[in-house]
A and B are shown apart, each in its own frame.
Chain A
Amino acid sequence: MSALRRTPLYDFHVARGGRMVDFAGWEMPVQYRSILEEHRAVRRAAGLFDVSHMGEVEVRGPGARAFLDTLLTNDVGRLAPGGVLYSPMCEPSGGVVDDLLAYQRGPDDYFLCVNASNIAKDVAWIRDRAATAAADVEIVDVSDAWALLALQGPLAERLLQPLTGAKLGLIRPFQFAEATVAGVLCLASRTGYTGEDGFELYHAPADSVALAEALLAAGAPHGLELCGLGARDSLRLEAGYPLYGHELSAEISPLAAGLGWTVKLGKSADFIGRTALAAEKAAGSPRRVLHFRTGDRRIVRPDSPVCTSDGTVVGRVLSGTLSPILNEAIGSALVSTAFATSPLFVAIRGTEIPLQIVRPPLVPRSGT
């Protein structure tokens, strides 16, 4: 086991009470004062997250667009410079290697933001596929060259605007632009993982502490909280966003996960997984990811069996937490499609709890 890695903000986190835990080989803050309070701050005002552990992979060259359109299930052809595209990256089986954001910087210049837990696997996969296809691309793992801070919440634009000369209102959701924020050169991406408006600021690791301190100083008087991975997880689950390894995996296809909108079977490129995903779409996914709430405060833990009223196990819980906004347990489960509309239950310490199946988001975006 190699030593845990640290982001440039490790000392910043510890000095502010961050409780550091191992996440995907990184020593990251799971919380500062309270997961529930940090979560509420993001829905009410704003939160600042260090997500520098995320990976960045450049894909450049004359063949970049064509190669990415074979690598990703979503339609890279829809991107223009300054655009961001969410996409799964699938295996031939239709299982998911990772889900990622693809950024187009120029005609032949893209980078992918990938999950920390998958960086090595993704880079090997992408290189291997590029070699197999003899694609005219250069693939560079630039994860160590980028740090990443996410400013999320209804006040994000208002807090960030005084720190930059860039016109943030011109950066629409799923767009990005260069912006100098508090003297730090950033790529400001109007994206996030909380279900709120917000920006993800890519910047040089050496600038991370200065940027974080400037954002915190600007935001704290308006209710901004430093947020850890605990709040990040409960926020994304309320929003209904998948987390790789939970709602998406080598065994759970994007169609099963309810991400059919990211699988462009009609695009011209013959992408990896297309045959399997077309067949799955035609036949119907045998299992589906469902989101639920329970009306009860007891948290439904991952891997709990999901049963029908006669006790038959028809699925399992993938993620579960307490929604600090709904004040009840919420989660996701992988359930046999044949039982997806049946009354479903989980047992918590001997009590049968009915699942109320709901379409995400479980909590709507805050008004700004």
Chain B
Amino acid sequence: MSSIPQDRHYAKSHEWAKPEPDGTVLVGITDYAQGALGDITYVQLPKVGATLAAGAVFGVVESVKAASDLYAPAGGTVVEVNGLLESAPETVNQDPYARGWMLRVRPASPGATGLMDAAAYGATLT
């Protein structure tokens, strides 16, 4: 398995939240999650402007095998969604930590809560 980036936080449900210099947070799923799902065929994301509560379902990721809910690792307002995933959802398989990002969220309050750092997340996978 590829290494787990140190520059972001992780939820037990395998989403990541990466703080950006402009104060927004990028959200995606981990390499472990994409590997467990297998070929991703569809990603359903909220619209720009939607309000997310931390821990609430924000979308669905579908693979050939199953459809799985996505849980928001951070609450706030969706300011951007990754439009690439509509036509190329397999990007999440290919590059889950960068080009396969899903949402950009402006957090309602600064600082993530209840999330793990890379080492703690990695420990949950073993």
Contacts and interface: CB of A to CB of B under 8 A. Distances in A.
Assign chain A's interface to a size class.
10 to 19
A298 B90 contact: no
Interface string B22-46: 0000000000000000110110100
B44 to A, nearest CB: 7
A34 interface: yes
Interface in B31-74: 38-39, 41-42, 44, 60, 62, 64-65, 67
A230 B64 CA distance: 8
A297 B41 contact: yes
Given A299-B64, A322-B64, A349-B60, A34 B41 contact: no
B77 interface: no
Contacts of B44: 298, 349
Contacts of B41: 36, 297, 299, 322
A31 interface: yes
A321 B62 CA distance: 11
Given A298-B62, A299-B62, A349-B44, A34 B93 contact: yes
A35 interface: yes
Interface string A218-230: 0000000000001
Nearest to A349: B60
A234 interface: yes
Contacts of B62: 297-299
Contacts of B42: 297-299, 322
Chain A interface mostly helix, strand, loop or mixed?
A: mixed
B64 A321 contact: yes
Contacts of B38: 19, 31, 34-35, 230
Contact of A299 (B67, B90, B93): B67
Interface in A292-333: 297-299, 301, 321-322
Contact of A36 (B39, B60, B67): B39
A35 B60 CA distance: 20
A36 B40 CA distance: 9
Contacts of A31: 38-39
Nearest to A297: B42
Interface in A51-95: none
A98 to B, nearest CB: 26
A141 to B, nearest CB: 32
Contacts of A35: 38-39, 64
A63 B103 CA distance: 69
Contact of A234 (B60, B64, B93): B64
Given A19-B38, A34-B38, A297-B41, 7 more contacts: A36-B39, A36-B41, A36-B90, A297-B62, A298-B42, A298-B44, A299-B62
Which are the 5 A-B pairs with shortest beta-carbon distances?
Answer: A322-B41, A297-B42, A36-B39, A35-B39, A35-B64
Interface of A: 19, 31, 34-36, 230, 234, 297-299, 301, 321-322, 349
21 contacts: A19-B38, A31-B39, A34-B38, A35-B38, A35-B64, A36-B39, A36-B41, A36-B64, A36-B90, A230-B65, A234-B64, A297-B62, A299-B41, A299-B42, A299-B62, A299-B67, A321-B64, A322-B41, A322-B64, A349-B44, A349-B67
